[in-house]
Amino acid sequence: MARTQGRAPIATRRQELSRRQARLAGLVGFAAAATLPVVLWHRAFWLIASDFRLELGYLVTGWVGYGLIGLGLLFMAPVVASIGRLPDSRFYPRARKAYAAWGVCLYLLGIVLASQVATVVRLQQIH
């Protein structure tokens, strides 16, 4: 569609608006995914951090879930940054679907592990 009389066609304006909305939704979703673990398990996180020691068993059982969540968010960052960009853009990751798949899988695995750690911490507080 060509521009006529200095105005963009209606379809182009709708497309720009949907790109803007997609970027906003992506940023809001990413921010929600980053804050969700902090909101849900802040007590367990601080209890684990308060008893910090450099032992392999402690690091694996206490921190792997949070590490996987962070790694998943790192994989999702280029995907969120490329929302609304054309695939020919230099800022569009070539392996975008792979980044998204790794990000989602690592994030969900981290959520599962962190929830189990929080449950164990809660049970230890009761007894």
- Which tens digits make up the pLDDT trace of 3-27? 555 565 665 666 666 888 889 999 9
Q: CB of 34 within 8 A of CB of 45? A: no
pLDDT at 17: 61
Question: Two tokens at 45?
Answer: 């996180």
Note the helical H segments in the chain.
10-50, 56-81, 96-126
From CA 66, how far away is CA 10, in angstroms rounded?
46
Q: Cα-flanking dihedrals φ and ψ of residue 47, to 5°? A: -65, -40
- Label residue 70 exposed, middle or buried (CB < 10 Å: 0-12, 13-18, 19+): middle
CA separation, residue 46 to residues 39, 58, 71, 78 (Å)? 12, 14, 20, 29
Instruction: Compute the average pLDDT of residues 98-126.
Output: 90
From CA 13, how far away is CA 6, in angstroms rounded?
13
Q: Cα-flanking dihedrals φ and ψ of residue 4, to 5°? A: -125, 130
Instruction: Compute the average pLDDT of residues 62-81.
Output: 93
Which comes out higher in pLDDT, residue 20 or 73? 73
Q: Is the pLDDT of residue 115 over 70?
A: yes
